[in-house]
Amino acid sequence: MASEGKTTAQRIRGFFRELFRSEYTRFLEQELVRQRMDYDARIRSLIAEKLELVQKIDRLEIVIAPQLNRTARSVLDEKFSRTMQSTAEMVPPSSWQQALEEHARRMEVEDKANST
């Protein structure tokens, strides 16, 4: 048996290292990164689409607003200023790639420390 010279703790650590460093785990990690990047891209495209629709609605309201009475125009002006503030606050979500790269660096340092 190959594990005869090892302590129980070393065998347990070896088991978990082998378990969590398997090819399937690497595949799952890569798939997770791909899914998160796809999600980020979809969110960005939805935000862009929403901004286009808001701008189209605003243009239509500007065309219709002069035909309305003064009270309706003031309500539309107020709504337009709120819309512009809310669209300015929308920022695309940060990518998961930075967090994953930092984690990978930490794991490399830990692996180097464990191998020596």
Rounded (5°) CA angle 64-80-41? 110
Mean pLDDT across the chain, nearest whole number? Answer: 78
Rounded (5°) CA angle 96-43-94? 30
Higher-pLDDT residue of 76, 36: 36
| pLDDT surpassing 80 at residue 82 | no
Task: Give residues with Cβ within 8 angstroms of 3, minimum separation 6.
Answer: 11, 14
Q: What distance in Å separates the CA atoms of residue 108 and residue 102, rounded to the nearest whole number?
A: 10
Name the residue with tokens 């125009």. 73
pLDDT band at 72 (very low <50, low <70, confident <90, very high): low
pLDDT band at 1 (very low <50, low <70, confident <90, very high): very low
pTM over 0.75: no
pLDDT of residue 101: 79
pLDDT of residue 35: 94
Q: Considering only 19-33, 75-89, 92-106, which range has the smallest mean pLDDT?
A: 75-89
